[in-house]
C-alpha cells in the first residue's frame, strides 16, 4: 500500500484547520521521534518531519556564522569559536535530523499498517458491592423503598478533614 503525502498547499490548509493542541501534539511527536497518537494526523506529522529534516540538514552552516561574531578578538579566538560552534551545531543537527527521520518512518508505518480497532472501555459500577450493606431500605411507613444511607452505622466523620482544621492548614501556608 502506498501512502500519498500531501503537497505543500494541502499540508498548509490541513495544518491551518487544526487546533493549537493538535499542532502541539504533532510537533511534540516529531521532536521526540515517535509516531503520533491519532492516525488522522500521521500525514501532517510526516510533512512536519520532512520540513524539520530539511532545516537540520543545512543548520550546520550556522556554526561558522556564530564563530565570526567575535571577529575583533583575534584570529585564534575566531578560529576556535568557528570550530567549536560548528562542531556543536553539527552534533545537534545530526541528532535532531535522526529524530525527525525516525518520526517520519514511524508515521509511515502507522499509515501503511492495518487500522486499529478501538476497544470499548469496561464500565465499572459505582454502586457498593458489599452484600452486607443494604442498597435500599423501607420507608418509615413501609409503603415504598428508599435508598439506604451511604454511611455505615458507627462510622464517624474524619476529624482530619474538619472545616476548622482545614482553615488552620491553609493559614500556615
SS (H, E, C) the chain: CCCCCCCHHHHHHHHHHCCHHHHHHHHHHHHHCCCCCCHHHHHHHHHHHHHHHHHHHHHHHHHHHHHHHHHHHCHHHHHHHHHHHHHHHHHHHHHHHHHHHHHHHHHHHHHHCCCCCCCCCCCCCCCCCCCCCCCEEECCCCCCEEECCCCCCCCCCCHHHCHHHHHHHHHHC
Which conformational region is residue 123 in: left (phi greater than 0), alpha (psi within -120 to 50 degrees), or beta? beta
Q: Please give the grid coordinates belonging to residue 89.
A: 551545531
Rounded to whole angstroms, how far apart are CA atoms 135 and 142?
16
Residue 102 is given by DSSP the state H
**Which 3 state secondary structure label does DSSP give 141?**
coil
pTM of the model: 0.59
Packing angle of the helix pair 42-58, 8-17 (nearest 10 deg): 120
Q: How many CA atoms lie within 13 A of 168 on its CB side?
A: 6
Q: What's the rounded mean pLDDT across residues 10-16?
A: 88
Summarised one tens digit per residue, pLDDT across range 114-168 is 766 666 666 666 665 555 555 555 555 666 655 555 545 555 555 555 666 667 7
pLDDT at 130: 56
Q: In this predicted model, what pLDDT tens digit does every residue of 58-107 receive, in sequence order? A: 888 877 777 677 667 778 888 888 888 888 889 999 999 999 999 999 99
Higher-scoring residue by pLDDT: 149, 22: 22
Residue 11: how many CB atoms within 10 A of its CB? 18
Amino acid at each position: 500500500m502506498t501512502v500519498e503525502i500531501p503537497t505543500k498547499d494541502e499540508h498548509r490548509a490541513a495544518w491551518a484547520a487544526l487546533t493549537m493542541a493538535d499542532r502541539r501534539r504533532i510537533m511534540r511527536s516529531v521532536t521526540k521521534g515517535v509516531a503520533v497518537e491519532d492516525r488522522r494526523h500521521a500525514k501532517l506529522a510526516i510533512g512536519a518531519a520532512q520540513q524539520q529534516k530539511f532545516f537540520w540538514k543545512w543548520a550546520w552552516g550556522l556554526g561558522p556564522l556564530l564563530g565570526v561574531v567575535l571577529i575583533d578578538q583575534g584570529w585564534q579566538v575566531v578560529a576556535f569559536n568557528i570550530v567549536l560552534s560548528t562542531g556543536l551545531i553539527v552534533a545537534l543537527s545530526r541528532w535532531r535530523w535522526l529524530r525527525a527521520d525516525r518520526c517520519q518512518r514511524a508515521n509511515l508505518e502507522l499509515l501503511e499498517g492495518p487500522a486499529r480497532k478501538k476497544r470499548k472501555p469496561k464500565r465499572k459500577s459505582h454502586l457498593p458491592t458489599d452484600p452486607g450493606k443494604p442498597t435500599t431500605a423501607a420507608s418509615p411507613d413501609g409503603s415504598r423503598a428508599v435508598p439506604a444511607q451511604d454511611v455505615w452505622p458507627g462510622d464517624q466523620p474524619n476529624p482530619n478533614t474538619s472545616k476548622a482544621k482545614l482553615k488552620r492548614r491553609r493559614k500556615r501556608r
